[in-house]
Chains A and B, each alone.
Chain A
Amino acid sequence: MSRRPLATGSEWTFELIEAYDRELARLAAGHGLDTYPSQIEIISAEQMMDAYASVGMPVGYHHWSFGKRFLDVERRYKRGQMGLAYEIVINSDPCIAYLMEENSMMMQILVLAHAAYGHNSFFKNNYLFRQWTAADAIIDYLVFAKNYIARCEQKYGVEAVEEILDACHALMNHGVDRYKRPQRLSLRREQQRQRERAAHIQSQINELWRTLPQRPGERETDDEDRYPAEPQENLLYFVEKNAPLLEPWEREIVRIVRKLAQYFYPQRQTQVMNEGWATFWHYTLVNELYDEGLIGDGYMLEFLTSHTNVIAQPPYHAPHYHGINPYALGFAIFRDLKRICEAPDDEDRHWFPEIAGSDWHQTLDFAMRNFKDESFIRQYLSPKVIRDLKLFSVIDDDRERHLEIGAIHNEAGYREVRRALAEQYELGAQEPNIQVVHMDRRGDRSLTLRHQQYHRRPLEENDARRVLHHLARLWGFPVRLEVVDENGNVESLYDGSPP
């Protein structure tokens, strides 16, 4: 069928955006994309810079680090060193997408397809997001957090609050319960509980730190002496619940930062998938618009230019090489999945017997819902994608004089490359594994952390010291860090007292 394009000029209007959105919604529904309602917000470049600075939070509390980010973005943008993203999407219900007013009509269509249908459906359906974030409550919670912190600033002074926030931000990446499912957020419940919780926690802590002499006959076993009984990976949670000297409002701020860390946690683990999925869908949907004649050749050329830029993957030796482009990798995998479903060859039948020739909608939907970057790559990176991107692995061992090529894109190397790439996206490879192992209740009340080394990788020591300094500030008593190497040898790295 051939229809007249809805628009051909580069200027966008609200009516046109609406018209195209209707068409995109129809096409997306045809593919069975399940999305939150979207809220498209047209903003200016300045507002986009604001959004950048607040790491995409639509409502943010005040902190100097956001100001620093803003200054950086502003300078680079004004000097033309960087373009602003065409869009930012917020994982919320309704899903908020920011569109820049500078975008041309074609770009608005691309961004709409990418954000309001691609990212949106990912947010709604991927298991990590379903499990870790409460899209319907996040905006309310952010409002609560902002107001609470503003009230604390008024009451206790900006500097006191800033000190706590600095410390919390330093520990933010280690403020996530990785294996427990978090509670859902709700503004009213949050406010309602906040007061009683503060009182309750305070009493709990006093109990924990009770120094009353023991009654005779009440002997403590070694087991009780060890607290926590199991190592705790969520440092902020541990601090919030156990730090002896924190004021109730300081605890609440720790909690706020912890909750935000949790909200951002899935995003860090699904970058390749999320961007790949959104790119796959903007590519698919816009192509269908073109097939139906709803956009003309001019738009299509502009689209292809932008799309090609987005998925460009410079080779390792290019001057502007910045590692693997998550858009390129994610897009390549999803597209190849579709190909395997539709037109499998012998290699595919050998590597992916279950999905070769299956219904591509179902297969992609399954892949989108149930994986994160690491497992997604482990499961679906096909030999063809490895060949197309010419992937190879380099082993860098500080005990060797030379770097060694581990595997390349050949028959013998596919599995090896796939394993190496998947491990690269494993959280353990990206962030040091640090847990609380001991809290000295009877002695100096010190806190002991343990860093379990991963492939002998050391901590960046300067930073580690500074983080521990922050932690000591929250804890109020000395904080120790031990490093455990692969052979189980323990070595003490740092021994710090609170300021």
Chain B
Amino acid sequence: MGVALVLIFFVAQVDADQGISQKIFYFHVPIALTSYVCFGTGAWKGLRLLWTGAERYDLESYTAIHQGTIFGALTLITGSIWAKASWTHWWVWSDDQLVLFLVLFLFYCAYFMLRTSIEPGSRRERISAVYALLGVALIPVSFLAIRLSKSFIHPVVFSRHGPGMTHLQFTAFCVSWAALLLLVYVMYRIELIGKRTDSELRDLREAVAA
């Protein structure tokens, strides 16, 4: 993480077009990609749950989606700041990715409400897993829908001809993404340990009471 910060602020060239505000690109895009990774992991764990029926995948899927939602909120915030700096508005509907994240953020907020409204048990685990799977199907479909609904003015950096950055900028981007992935993994493990301890404690309490 520290290496990434050094690379971003001192080594990578300042963008000629956008100036210093372009630096947020090194946070915004990796955060967004990391949150996709989290949602994907959540859906994968959900699929494993449905496949094998092993109970432990439920908490893993839940934790991954929780982290994904946190990073999704961060994406919205950093994207909003970038929009303010580049286009002088806090929110622009013309940015496909941000609108997509708003839709996903709402969708996964509903995940938590649905989950907390159902009694704990195998049915809740399965419904959560199916919901996580619906989420990964929704990501490309919504993206396509938003593309269809309007023309886009977002600077497309990754084109078919490879990334439109210098090597140094690309290195900074990759290091930053790697740092964020590491961060999210550590947070995921910590939260998972906490949640597992919680559920074990509850089981013990029930055993003592019974």
Determine if chain A interacts with chain B: no
